[in-house]
Structure 1
Amino acid sequence: MEPVKEFYFKEPLLEMPMVSRKAISFITAVWSVILVAAAATFLLSGTAKLFWPGLLISLYLTHRLFHFNDAKLLLSKVPLSGKINTADYLNRQSVKAITLASDRSLLFGGDFSLHLISELSQSKEVREALLRLDVNYDEFREKLGEHLKKSVSETKQSHNDIILKIRNLALSAINLSLKGGGKYVDDSDLFAAIGDLKEESVEKIFNLFQIDSDNLERALIFGRFRRRFFWHRLPTSLGGFVNQPYKLRHRIMNRAWTARPTPMLDLFGVDFTDMARASMAGFLVGHEKEYDRILDILSRPNQPNALLIGEAGAGKEALVGHLAYEIIHDKVPPQLFDKRLVTLDLNSLLAGADVPEQQARIKKIFEEINRAGNIILYIPDIHNLSRTAGRYELNIINTIIPFILSNDFPTIGSTYPKESKQFIESQSSFAQAFQFIQVDEITPSEAELVLTYDSLILEEQYKVKITYGAIKKAVEVAYKYFRQRLLPSSADDLLKEALAEAAHCGDKALSADDIIAIAEKRTNVPLKEAGYKEREKLLHLEELIHERLIDQEAAVSAVSKILREYRSGLASGKGPIGSFLFVGPTGVGKTELSKILAKIQFGSEDMMVRFDMSEYQDKASFYRFIGSPDGEITGALTDAVLQKPYALILLDEFEKAHPDVLNLFLQVFDDGRLTDNLGRMADFKNTIIIATSNAESNFIKEEIDKGRIMESVAEELKKRLIHYFKPELLNRMQTIVFKNLSMEDIIKITGLLMNDLGQTLAKQGIKMKVEDGALRKIAELGFSPAYGARPLRGVISNHIKSPLSEMILKGEISRGGEVIISLKDGGIKIAALIR
């Protein structure tokens, strides 16, 4: 059975009448003045008999001054069981705030929690936290006062009611302080804990200023750690937040004096326990399950070897560093107590030596490890032992693996998912030596906490104040748009880039808007709330699209509606921005509309990733799409989205793909995610997916020619598409039918393409005029019943661009000239006018 703890709150000052408390305060003040006067008199008396008592009094007063605000007991002394008075762990300032709030609530009426907020919000740390949360402090105090006045007539609380509230509040504050590494409960812990009480009066004032309890807890870190590091400089790395820095001293001996020196290991390795003592390692947020599993594996008598598998930045080395930190603080199982955690640098170990020398080094190092008896060995990038699988490398592996399998010492290795599949899992002896631990990316909430601590350092470096809104937005945007790297690295990069920009511009503070501005520069994607100009563009999106696309009203209307929903914040957010199936004959504008959407939403046609699904017709092609199980082949689709998480995905001839490939998209359209062969998660939530198909093209043409309206044709077509796609797949996509183009449509398209050519010539100072007859002739040559308008670009290239390029090179056309394209004797004539 677990030990039982019984918490209660008993503070003598709260039990006393107010007059008694005032009397005690007065007597204490008077006594302090007397002691100060006595110490000064004795020290200045010149008499030896009085000097020493004066010195003792001075030392007492100095000690009392430095520890005046301390709690009666430290949080590290909280017993594991029995009755626990939570008041003993509150510092004097916290007790004073509670006492004043209780007095005012009982004397004048009103809600105790609001009175306490009023007291606590005057502290420097709480005030800074509110400013970090973009809360106007003066407005907050004003609204708090209004709510307090209102509560006076509405709320009546007895002494027992208040004591019960204080007990719950103190217990919550103790938990928060313990989590934050505090020595005792202070004002900021109490203020953060108030939100956890879930009282209506508190929620009203917090909601009014959009104060979230979790965000408040993070924002209070700034003031808390500035006070902790008041007497010395802030650390230069995150490791400094878990340990007080002191001089690095290499320790090889355990406390029992049974260990042995390891000179060869020290030459080619780094002692993580030394780094932890110097506050250079140990900081860890998240990964609790992975860390517990490491402890379990390393504590085993047999096969105490763990292999950490995760992408770069997942936190593998942070886990190892935290283990070193816990070892030096004796917070590990007995089997790991008093160990040294040493990393072995394979590159330096193998460099500059032939194979016999390498093997000799390895044997010497492992002999030292066995003899020392207090080593935990860490081998980062352990896959490098077999990356090339050549004769020499195999000899090195064969030299090392027996030592690891001997169970004489614990070993930690680290590698990446791809390398694990390629170089480790393929070798049974290598794989069997380790227990695998998957190290995944930390959550956005955990990344926010990491960046909060990191911001304390970054503020000193850039001299720019960082609001918590900026931290939260950096994590949100990085997690959504910059998936090439994992959290927190991706968010940290974005935050630093925004800080550099702010420092360059002379800004004093960094806000969420500054993060969005930097992210928009990187992605060329609008992220902030639509402004007036963008709202106007979205409202007239159809007209904008029709500047480059002729007809196809149903398709243009459908995609415009989806983009408006997305930018107005009404999209579901579960799947991609939009999932479409464009069905229709070749050359009717399916690909062209896709390019236009890529340009509008993502800023460039280059943000369209195109797949020819006819290349994925057999079952084997499934692995080319998401990667092979052995890791040899990475997934074409998942790689594309990991590299471009904000893009338009075009799937040409969708109906030709293998059924297994089509089934992949059920998950993509539902959840917006797909896991590849290496366990990486590709996020499709910021993509537009367009699949095109020529299925039933003849049916569409025949029905439109009969005069049947498009809506009716589309409904009939959806029924026919069941022969090509599963109903559950069709239900997850918006099917849009493209009709065949008429000759008038082709003429209009020809006009658009010729206008593009005219703009190109205008950049060279050449005007171009196209007569109607020539325009129609080009349209006729470029139209094909089988391929629609697809041949049109080739016709313009052969009949217009090619002759024009020759005329420019011959000097027949030059800057300031004009080109007239006309129809003569049934052919196209290009004439140049030189001015």
Structure 2
Amino acid sequence: MSFISDKLNYYEKENKEGAAVKNKMISRFTFDIETIMMTMNKRIFGQDKAMNAIENMLKLIKADIADHERPLYIGLFLGPTGVGKTEIVRLLAEAIYGDRDKFCRIDMNTLASEHYSAALTGAPPGYVGSKEETTLFDKSLIEGTFSKPGIVLFDEVEKANEAVILTLLNIFDNGRLKITSGNTELNFRNSIVIMTSNIGAKEILNQSDQEGKSFNEDQTKKIIQEKLEEQFAPEFINRIDDVITFNWLGEHSVKLIIDQRLDHLRKKLQIHNRSVQLSDAAKNLIIEKGYDIKYGARSLKRAFRKFVEIPVADMLLRKSDSVDSLVFYGDISTDERAITFREVRENQ
């Protein structure tokens, strides 16, 4: 009887598993949301709101329930320079395609003049270049594939000419753009469209300095909304799915960025059988000399290059008789103005 019971249990389990497979949603998109978010959270710090928006966007796309007559997603990322707005797009491309550069990037500051707006849509018939249908857009990167969305970045969108903004409005409205010659059409309906801008960043920072306190979320939203309405027409703003204001980098995020740069440098040093470590005092010096709230992580990277990468490169280029694994250990100098390095045995 036990044999029969085991058989019945087996078939019951098989039926349940078969039903579960049938009920499981099958998406045409092959990316894994959990993997993407895990990668991003390891590389972007202090931007929880942006991370939540990206995760929700990926869920909508994966479920394939977004409006099929416009781009899959239209986001506007606001905030100061060096806080991760563009880096998120690179990481998204890396996670989906395995290549950080696998997206179509349009630098809108190059389209500030009406004269250059044709670079986006192609030269009109009869003008030089009209037959070639030359445009800044990369069709393959925009349209992606059946299983992977295309990714488009409009960087510093506030600097674009009004004619360019009208072109974007047409893309946002129906997900298509016909090149001026009329022979080619670009399809954005399988595209993730992200715009970046520094709109309102200066005003928010100035107000914070004047009031001598940290950023107030309600006041920040008010400033952002006012600056957006000054810059763009209501019909443009209404077609954006998410307007996300990135946070200024705090002390905790800054320390995480330094650790991230150190890990990156260690990977490069492995080929030389070397590694690198910094004392807490050395890390604090980089923060003191390199962090500027106005310039974010970019100023910090410049300080890391000056105080760490250049001295380490100098040590690598010196002849060393040791073939053992060594660590370049950096500590603050006696005058507290630089970081001095010395070689130590690993695990010493």
Structure 1 pair 592–643 and aligned structure 2 pair: CA distance change class (3 A) = closer
Structure 1 pair 528–559 and aligned structure 2 pair: CA distance change class (3 A) = closer
| Equivalent-residue separation in structure 2 for 1:706 and 1:645 (angstroms) | 45
Give the secondary-structure state (helix, strand or coil) at the position aligned to 2:283: helix
- With a CA cutoff of 8 Å and minimum separation of 6, indicate the structure with the bigger relative contact order: 2
Match of 2:220 among 693, 708, 713: 713
| Equivalent-residue separation in structure 1 for 2:30 and 2:159 (angstroms) | 40
Match of 2:285, as an amino acid? K
* 2:252 counterpart residue number: 744
Match of 1:754, as an amino acid? L
* 2:308 counterpart residue number: 800
| Equivalent-residue separation in structure 2 for 1:741 and 1:622 (angstroms) | 35
Structure 1 pair 816–644 and aligned structure 2 pair: CA distance change class (3 A) = farther
CA-to-partner distance for each residue in 1:147-173, whole Å, 9 max, x for gaps? xxxxxxxxxxxxxxxxxxxxxxxxxxx
| Equivalent-residue separation in structure 2 for 1:720 and 1:535 (angstroms) | 33
Give 1:627 shift.
0.9
Match of 1:590 among 63, 74, 85: 85
* 2:289 counterpart residue number: 781
| Equivalent-residue separation in structure 1 for 2:206 and 2:247 (angstroms) | 10
Give the secondary-structure state (helix, strand or coil) at the position aligned to 1:565: helix
Give 1:737 shift.
0.5
Contact persistence 1:700–1:713 (CA under 8 A): yes
Give the secondary-structure state (helix, strand or coil) at the position aligned to 1:620: helix
Is 1:670 the counterpart of 2:173? The answer is yes
* 1:693 counterpart residue number: 197
Contact persistence 2:141–2:152 (CA under 8 A): no
Contact persistence 1:701–1:740 (CA under 8 A): no
| Equivalent-residue separation in structure 2 for 1:535 and 1:605 (angstroms) | 17
Could you state the TM-score of these two structures normalised by the residue count of structure 1?
A: 0.34
Give 1:663 shift.
0.8
Contact persistence 2:103–2:142 (CA under 8 A): no
* 1:627 counterpart residue number: 122
Structure 1 pair 719–580 and aligned structure 2 pair: CA distance change class (3 A) = same
| Equivalent-residue separation in structure 1 for 2:188 and 2:48 (angstroms) | 27
Structure 1 pair 815–657 and aligned structure 2 pair: CA distance change class (3 A) = farther
| Equivalent-residue separation in structure 2 for 1:529 and 1:642 (angstroms) | 18
Contact persistence 1:614–1:656 (CA under 8 A): yes
Match of 1:789, as an amino acid? A
Give 1:644 shift.
5.1
Q: CA RMSD in A?
A: 2.5
Is 1:637 the counterpart of 2:133? The answer is no
| Equivalent-residue separation in structure 2 for 1:740 and 1:545 (angstroms) | 18
Contact persistence 1:577–1:686 (CA under 8 A): yes
Match of 2:266, as an amino acid? G
| Equivalent-residue separation in structure 2 for 1:556 and 1:528 (angstroms) | 20
Instruction: Give runs of aligned pairs for residues 517-556 of structure 1, distance below 5 A.
Output: 527-528=28-29, 534=32, 536-537=34-35, 541=37, 543-556=38-51
Match of 2:236 among 706, 716, 729: 729
CA-to-partner distance for each residue in 1:172-200, whole Å, 9 max, x for gaps? xxxxxxxxxxxxxxxxxxxxxxxxxxxxx
Structure 1 pair 754–574 and aligned structure 2 pair: CA distance change class (3 A) = farther
Contact persistence 1:623–1:635 (CA under 8 A): no
Is 1:831 the counterpart of 2:342? The answer is yes
Contact persistence 2:262–2:276 (CA under 8 A): no
Structure 1 pair 565–644 and aligned structure 2 pair: CA distance change class (3 A) = closer
Give the secondary-structure state (helix, strand or coil) at the position aligned to 2:229: helix
| Equivalent-residue separation in structure 1 for 2:166 and 2:139 (angstroms) | 18
| Equivalent-residue separation in structure 1 for 2:225 and 2:254 (angstroms) | 27
Match of 1:571, as an amino acid? A
Contact persistence 1:627–1:635 (CA under 8 A): yes
Gaps of 5+ in 1: 1-525
* 2:160 counterpart residue number: 657
Contact persistence 1:770–1:821 (CA under 8 A): yes
Match of 2:59, as an amino acid? R
Instruction: Give runs of aligned pairs for residues 393-792 of structure 1, distance below 5 A.
Output: 527-528=28-29, 534=32, 536-537=34-35, 541=37, 543-629=38-124, 630=126, 632-633=128-129, 634-638=133-137, 640-642=138-140, 645-646=143-144, 647-678=150-181, 679-701=183-205, 706-707=213-214, 709-710=216-217, 713-714=220-221, 716-733=223-240, 734-792=242-300
Q: How many residues align?
A: 303
Give the secondary-structure state (helix, strand or coil) at the position aligned to 1:802: helix
Structure 1 pair 828–723 and aligned structure 2 pair: CA distance change class (3 A) = same
Structure 1 pair 643–652 and aligned structure 2 pair: CA distance change class (3 A) = closer
Match of 2:328, as an amino acid? V
Could you state the TM-score of these two structures normalised by the residue count of structure 2?
A: 0.78
| Equivalent-residue separation in structure 2 for 1:728 and 1:810 (angstroms) | 62
CA-to-partner distance for each residue in 1:618-662, whole Å, 9 max, x for gaps? 111111111111363344333x23465334322222111110101
Give 1:707 shift.
4.7
Give 1:548 shift.
0.4
Match of 1:688, as an amino acid? I
Contact persistence 2:111–2:159 (CA under 8 A): yes
Contact persistence 2:104–2:141 (CA under 8 A): no
| Equivalent-residue separation in structure 1 for 2:96 and 2:127 (angstroms) | 34
Give 1:536 shift.
4.1
Give 1:671 shift.
1.9
Contact persistence 1:642–1:682 (CA under 8 A): no
Instruction: Give runs of aligned pairs for residues 34-45 of structure 1, distance below 5 A.
Output: none
| Equivalent-residue separation in structure 2 for 1:706 and 1:811 (angstroms) | 52
Give the secondary-structure state (helix, strand or coil) at the position aligned to 1:689: strand
| Equivalent-residue separation in structure 2 for 1:814 and 1:580 (angstroms) | 52
The structure with the greater share of residues assigned to strand is: 2
| Equivalent-residue separation in structure 1 for 2:34 and 2:88 (angstroms) | 20
| Equivalent-residue separation in structure 2 for 1:723 and 1:528 (angstroms) | 38
CA-to-partner distance for each residue in 1:517-551, whole Å, 9 max, x for gaps? xxxxxxxxx95556xxx35436xx2x432210110
Give the secondary-structure state (helix, strand or coil) at the position aligned to 1:606: coil
Structure 1 pair 554–711 and aligned structure 2 pair: CA distance change class (3 A) = farther
Instruction: Give runs of aligned pairs for residues 376-391 of structure 1, distance below 5 A.
Output: none
The structure with the greater share of residues assigned to helix is: 1
Match of 1:820, as an amino acid? Y
Give 1:587 shift.
1.6
Give 1:831 shift.
1.5
Give the secondary-structure state (helix, strand or coil) at the position aligned to 2:294: coil
